[in-house]
Amino acid sequence: MRTFDLSPLYRSTIGFDRLFSLLDQNVGAEAPAAYPPYNIERTGENAYRLTLAVAGFGETELSIESRENALTIKGAKEAPADSEAREMLYQGIAARAFERRFQLADHVQVTGARLENGLLHVDLVREIPEAQRPRQIPIGKAGPRAVDSKAA
């Protein structure tokens, strides 16, 4: 059984249409590639850090793009100028091109990126607009109403 019917969830939820659409799209999708390996960590209440192991890649060989609710990180090795003069006897360090896509939640923004010791750190923060933050709604007490005697 590899199909799931999410239609009952549509009837009892409000505003989760996008989430269920993503689930529908990913149910039959193939497993993502494992290269390069990465970590996702929470560094604060609304702050996150994505760390990718990109050993052998320089800053000029990496690109990070944030568009709508998607983060795309690409890496492409430039061929060395003296590649014909070299003969590789064993190549255990992966130098292949890659493209990693991450789906970002609403209001998550990339605040910075840095490359150190073969690790690419991408810092993210969730900034919820003031109008969408939770707020307390006071419950008012209704005062006595005057009954209009002429209406009866």
**Tokens standing for 56?**
């052998």
How does the average pLDDT of the chain come out, rounded?
A: 77
Which tens digits make up the pLDDT trace of 46-62?
A: 888 999 998 888 888 89
From edge to edge, which strands make up the β-sheet containing 62-67? 62-67, 70-75, 98-103
Does 66 lie in the same domain as 40?
yes
Does 116 lie in the same domain as 49?
yes
- Residue 74 pLDDT > 80: yes
Rounded to an integer, the average pLDDT of 70-91 is 78
Asked whether residue 150 is assigned to any structural domain, the reply reads no
Does 39 lie in the same domain as 25?
no
DSSP, res 33: P
Number of H helices, E strands in the chain: 2, 7
Asked whether residue 55 is assigned to any structural domain, the reply reads yes
Does 42 lie in the same domain as 73?
yes
Question: Would you place residue 150 in the very low, low, confident or very high pLDDT band (cuts 50, 70, 90)?
Answer: low
Q: What is the pLDDT of residue 86?
A: 73
Does 71 lie in the same domain as 48?
yes
Does 40 lie in the same domain as 6?
no
- Residue 121 pLDDT > 90: yes
Q: What is the pLDDT of residue 17?
A: 59
Does 110 lie in the same domain as 40?
yes
- Which residues constitute the domain of residue 55? 34-79+91-130
Does 97 lie in the same domain as 38?
yes
CATH number at residue 102: 2.60.40.790
DSSP, res 81: T
Q: What is the pLDDT of residue 126?
A: 85
Q: What is the pLDDT of residue 34?
A: 78
Does 55 lie in the same domain as 112?
yes
pTM of the complete model: 0.62
Does 126 lie in the same domain as 64?
yes
Count structural domains, the chain. 2
Rounded to an integer, the average pLDDT of 114-140 is 85
CB atoms < 10 A from the CB of 75, how many? 21
